[in-house]
């Protein structure tokens, strides 16, 4: 059987998608596509590829009902360059294979991430791990960016001085900061890539890793447009309710004023309703009501 190729993916091979100030994502290679997904799904009863419409329906069915193994038949390989702190969030997704540049073998480049002024925001008042919506004033933002760049330049100068004095690379790298850029080759199947994207494209994810997730999503869409459409429909754009939330939603739809939720549970429920409103056209969303805090 000939290797499956997808024109949109072929056009994207080895094209750098810029990320942040100095980073990128490149699609290096891919194995399979939408056709491979439906072939793998239909092998159990010996049926081959059908029409595009039938293939689309099958892919939506598989993803909607969490039949994941056919999506594992598609594999994408990326070359990515990102700040170390982004890499450490990224590597939490362990169902993948990677090779990262090593500071033991290589002299690290003088490349550091300096956030854009508009991304410098205050600490969130209700989320201990995230920035809030309020930006710093331009003067403070400019000062912070300058201080970051100055600190990075000083630390890198000390790093090169240590190397010049003969210190081993594996020790000299010790003080290099999380803003230093690293690179790796990262290979992952489509099912686990979708899990990565569902988490890292979410509005709660840190801005910097969302930038990379969106670049990876561009590649996934090129390789498997039907599967990516199903991912947007059934995962990325969907909302999952807990049992208590379903009970509250039923009470609201029945016209009741008491929904039984309060505190953090109510705030999470409200976020999900807001996501629903954002997905529904304005002229069709009138039936969604806002739950009271009572």
Q: Based on the domain organization, do 223 and 251 belong to the same domain?
A: no
What six digits make up the tokens of 173? 């790298």
d(CA 91, CA 85): 10
- Residue 145 annotated as catalytic: no
Mean pLDDT to the nearest integer, 270-283: 74
For 82-101, what is each residue's pLDDT tens digit? 999 999 999 999 999 999 99
Kindly report the CATH number assigned to the domain that includes residue 58: 3.30.1360.170
d(CA 273, CA 283): 16
Q: Based on the domain organization, do 256 and 131 belong to the same domain?
A: no
- Number of domain units in the chain: 3
What six digits make up the tokens of 228? 């990516």
Looking at the domain assignment, is residue 111 inside a domain?
no
What is the structure's pLDDT at 284? 52
**Which residue in the list 53, 200, 221, 243 is annotated as catalytic?**
200
Q: Based on the domain organization, do 135 and 186 belong to the same domain?
A: no
Residue 147 DSSP SS3: helix
Longest dimension (CA), the chain: 76
What is the structure's pLDDT at 37? 96
**Strands 97-100, 75-83: pairing kind:** unpaired
CB-based contacts of 282: which residues, under 8 Å, 6+ apart? Answer: none
Least confident of 6-20, 68-82, 202-216, 240-254: 240-254
What is the structure's pLDDT at 133? 84
What is the structure's pLDDT at 282? 56
What is the structure's pLDDT at 294? 47
Q: Based on the domain organization, do 21 and 140 belong to the same domain?
A: no
What is the structure's pLDDT at 272? 83
Q: Which range marks the domain in which residue 153 is found?
A: 117-175
Beta strand residue intervals within the chain, DSSP E: 17-19, 23-31, 75-83, 97-100, 121-123, 131-135, 181-189
Q: What is the DSSP letter of 130?
A: S
Looking at the domain assignment, is residue 1 inside a domain?
no
Q: Based on the domain organization, do 79 and 171 belong to the same domain?
A: no
3-state percent breakdown (helix, strand, coil) of the chain, nearest 5: 50, 15, 35
d(CA 250, CA 287): 13
For 218-259, what is each residue's pLDDT tens digit? 999 999 999 999 999 999 988 888 999 898 888 888 887 777
- Average per-residue pLDDT in the chain? 91
d(CA 27, CA 61): 27
């Amino acid at each position: 059987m000939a290797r499956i190729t997808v024109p949109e993916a072929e056009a994207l091979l080895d094209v750098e998608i810029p990320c942040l100030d100095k980073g990128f994502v490149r699609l290096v290679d891919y194995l399979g596509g939408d056709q491979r997904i439906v072939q793998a799904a239909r092998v159990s009863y010996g049926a081959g590829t059908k029409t595009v419409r039938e293939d689309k329906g099958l892919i939506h069915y598989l993803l909607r009902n969490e039949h994941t193994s056919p999506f594992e038949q598609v594999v994408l390989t990326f070359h990515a360059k990102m700040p170390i702190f982004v890499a450490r969030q990224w590597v939490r997704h362990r169902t993948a294979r990677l090779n990262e540049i090593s500071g033991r073998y290589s002299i690290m480049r003088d490349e550091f991430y300096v956030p854009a002024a508009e991304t410098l925001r205050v600490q969130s008042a209700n989320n201990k791990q995230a920035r809030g919506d309020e930006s710093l004033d331009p003067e403070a933002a400019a000062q912070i960016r300058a201080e970051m760049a100055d600190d990075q330049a000083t630390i890198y100068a000390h790093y090169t001085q240590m190397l010049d004095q003969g210190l081993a690379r594996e020790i000299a790298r010790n003080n290099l900061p999380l803003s230093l850029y690293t690179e790796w080759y990262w290979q992952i199947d489509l099912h686990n890539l979708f899990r990565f994207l569902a988490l890292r494209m979410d509005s709660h994810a840190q801005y910097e890793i969302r930038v990379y997730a969106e670049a990876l999503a561009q590649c996934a869409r090129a390789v498997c447009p039907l599967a990516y459409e199903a991912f947007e429909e059934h995962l990325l754009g969907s909302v999952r309710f807990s049992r208590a939330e379903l009970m509250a939603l039923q009470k609201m739809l029945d016209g009741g004023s008491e929904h039984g939720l309060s505190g953090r549970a109510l705030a999470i429920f409200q976020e999900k309703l807001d996501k629903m409103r954002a997905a529904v056209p304005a002229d069709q969303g009138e039936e969604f009501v806002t739950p009271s805090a009572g």
